[in-house]
Each structure stands twice: as structure tokens, then as C-alpha cells.
Amino acid sequence: MSTPDIQNTLVLIKPDGLKKSLTGNILTKLAETRLIIVGAKVVSVSRELAEQHYIHLKDKPFFPELLNYIQGKMYGEEYKRVLAMVYRGDGAIQKVRDIAGSTNPEEADSTSIRGAYGRITTKGVFENVIHASSSTADSEREIKLWFKPAEIVGNIYPAKKAMAEAHEHFVWA
């Protein structure tokens, strides 16, 4: 048996996945991987976060629609959010990519998440339900973009202490 290659991967259930109530189905499918979840939160996606997440596609004609889509702009207030998670384990990146399926939902295997639940809109947006990191470099960049060290259980990447500058923030009333 080869030595395990422990990887971390960012998974997003995109706004269409939430709108279609697919969270349970997707988590069940991902559970087949036997990976562990080391971070999870609901995120309202800012323009800046959307742009940074998809920076590699900034010159594509579909980039503006892609930003609207990941921000959930077409689904109403309740669905302007994503469920962001970090899965960890042996070969995590490819295991999750396999279950997610091909980028184009019309080309994705019909038993994959994108094949079963995705669609292409009349505007040409790939509503493909889920994001999954595609390399170790991408997953590290994406996880550090979406999560703070304190939001991850375990030390998956080196972190350092920093002094917070005095700033206003919310506490429970």
C-alpha cells in the first residue's frame, strides 16, 4: 500500500445547491469518501471574495455572470449565500472532484453531483451546484481565502499570532 497523501480541499455548495435543497444529498455523497470535515460555515459572498475566488477566469466572457452566480444574485435574499467546507484526508482533492463531476453539467457523469443536479441557464451560466478545489496549490489558496486559522479544526497550514488592531465588532447583545 502506498503512503497516504493527506490533502485539504475547499468545497462550496453554491447558491443553486442551497436553493434546490441539495445540502443533505451532497453531504451524503461526499461522505462516501470517508474524508473528515475540518471547517464549515455559511458565507454571504462579497464581490471581492467572488473575484478573488475566480481570479483565474477574470478574462473570460462569462466572468461577470459567474460573479453574480456565486453571489446568488438571481435567487432572492435567502439564497445569497454558500455553504463553505474544508474536507481533509488521503487524496481528498481528486476524491471530491470525482464525486462533483465535470465542470460543464451537461457533460458531467449522470451519477456525479453536477451531472445529477446541474444545468446550464439560458444565459449560459453553468449552474453546477458545487465547487471543489482542483490542485494542492489551488486548495491552499482557496482555503486561506475563505477561512481564518481559528475556523479550522487542527493545524492544516502554518499560522502565526497577530495583534488585532482596535476595531469595532459585534458581540452577542
Give catalytic residues, as residue numbers: 131
Among ligand DAT, Mg ion, none, residue 128 binds (CB under 5-8 Å by kind): ligand DAT
Q: Are 136 and 10 in contact (CB under 8 A)?
A: no
User: Rounded to whole angstroms, how far apart are CA atoms 46 and 159?
Assistant: 24
Report what 26 binds from ligand DAT, Mg ion, none; CB cut-off 5-8 Å by kind: none
Is 131 a binder of ligand DAT (CB under 6 A)? yes
Distance CA 130, CA 25 (A): 12
For residue 71, state whether it binds ligand DAT (rule: CB under 6 A): no
Report the amino acid identity of residue 25: N
Q: How far apart are CA 28 and CA 168, in angstroms?
A: 39
From residue 99 to residue 138, what is the string marking binding to Mg ion with x (rule CB under 5 A)?
-----------------------------------x----
Residue 103 within binding range of ligand DAT, rule CB under 6 A: yes
CA distance 8 to 11: 10
| Residues contributing to the site for ligand DAT (CB under 6 A) | 57, 62, 66, 103, 124, 126, 128, 131, 134
